[in-house]
Amino acid sequence: MSAMLHSPGGRPPYPRKVGAVIITMGNRPDDLRALLDSVARQDGDPIEVVVVGNGAPVGDVPEGVRTVELPENLGIPGGRNAGIEAFGAHGKDVDVLLFLDDDGSLPNTDTAELCRQAFAADPKLGIISFRIADPDTGLTQRRHVPRLRASDPMRSSRVTTFLGGANAVRTEVFAEVGGLPDEFFYAHEETDLAWRALDAGWLIDYRSDMVLHHPTTPPSRHAVYHRMVARNRVWLARRNLPVPLVPVYVGVWLLLTLARRPSVPALKAWFGGFKEGWTAPCGPRRPMKWRTVWRLTRLGRPPVI
């Protein structure tokens, strides 16, 4: 593992080196450059950056920024895992990794330093979820607040999941529980990692003062959205939940989906993904402990919704 001070329990209390992983499809060069500039302006020690071209050439980047060009699109988790590995096995060459969407930017220069301070203050803190705000309006969508009580995005809190394109992860988490699930390709890969991290005893915080500017866009703009959301919900349950909770979790989400009255094409795609979730292999099954179920419940989000 990287050189760092360790707590008596073997976990690092103070992060010394911060890196950043950015995934790009090569179609937003101006946005990518703006993001890289915002990372370079961060206070404190310079941040080492790896840009992963997910099945596309990265293009021109500033001197000092490393690039990884994948021959095919491996999906969001696969691309991010390639970025993690670029920092050494499980990202061990750095203590904290920032994961940032290529069309976002950090409006404040103290975000990385706030991350260092937060991880230093709590050796059990494994993941920080940033607040996403529209650059023009400053507003944060409810879906970008990773908890059920999402009406006040300015309230920081302990949470049970995090936002994939606006977060910081202690690399010790990856070393202990593994990376993101490649099989998911898109949707819910963050919750899969979050549940495994919580089961291992790590904590996750949502911090409203750590901001990523990102334009407001609907997730349904992706053609695969409805199918993969449904498939990965089932996979999430199959991989991580105790057997009695699997049908409860999947059933609740089925009812919620129907209650939202999606269009006929969307519903057809959703049920196709739902079927695929039960029939296609989803990777290793590691059911969480019942005490983790109770922890999630006490945090306000039992793993049935």
Whether residue 199 sits in one domain with residue 226: no
CATH of the domain at 78: 3.90.550.10
Res 98 pLDDT > 80? yes
Closest residue by Cα to residue 288 from 201, 215, 214, 204: 201
Whether residue 156 sits in one domain with residue 94: yes
Whether residue 264 sits in one domain with residue 148: no
Whether residue 239 sits in one domain with residue 109: no
Whether residue 208 sits in one domain with residue 59: yes
Whether residue 196 sits in one domain with residue 250: no
Whether residue 147 sits in one domain with residue 213: yes
Domain residue limits at 132: 18-217
Rounded to an integer, what distance in angstroms lies between the CA atom of residue 200 and that of residue 187? 22
Model confidence band, residue 2 (pLDDT cutoffs 50, 70, 90): very low
Asked if 35 contacts 193 with a C-beta cutoff of 8 angstroms, the reply is: no
Whether residue 122 sits in one domain with residue 77: yes
22 in any annotated domain? yes
Res 9 pLDDT > 90? no
| Burial profile 182-196: b = 16 or more Cβ within 10 angstroms, e = fewer | bbbbbbbbbbbbbbb
Structural domain count, the chain: 2
Res 85 pLDDT > 80? yes
Rounded to an integer, what distance in angstroms lies between the CA atom of residue 264 and that of residue 16? 51
Whether residue 100 sits in one domain with residue 165: yes
| pLDDT of 207 | 98
Model confidence band, residue 10 (pLDDT cutoffs 50, 70, 90): low
Whether residue 207 sits in one domain with residue 249: no
Amino acid at site 171: T
Question: Alpha carbon of 109 to those of 20, 42, 156, 200, 213: distances in Å?
Answer: 15, 4, 19, 32, 13
Whether residue 237 sits in one domain with residue 152: no
Mean pLDDT of all residues belonging to the chain: 93
Q: Tens digits of per-residue pLDDT, 251-268?
A: 999 999 999 999 999 999
Whether residue 105 sits in one domain with residue 184: yes
| Residue keyed to tokens 């203590």 | 95
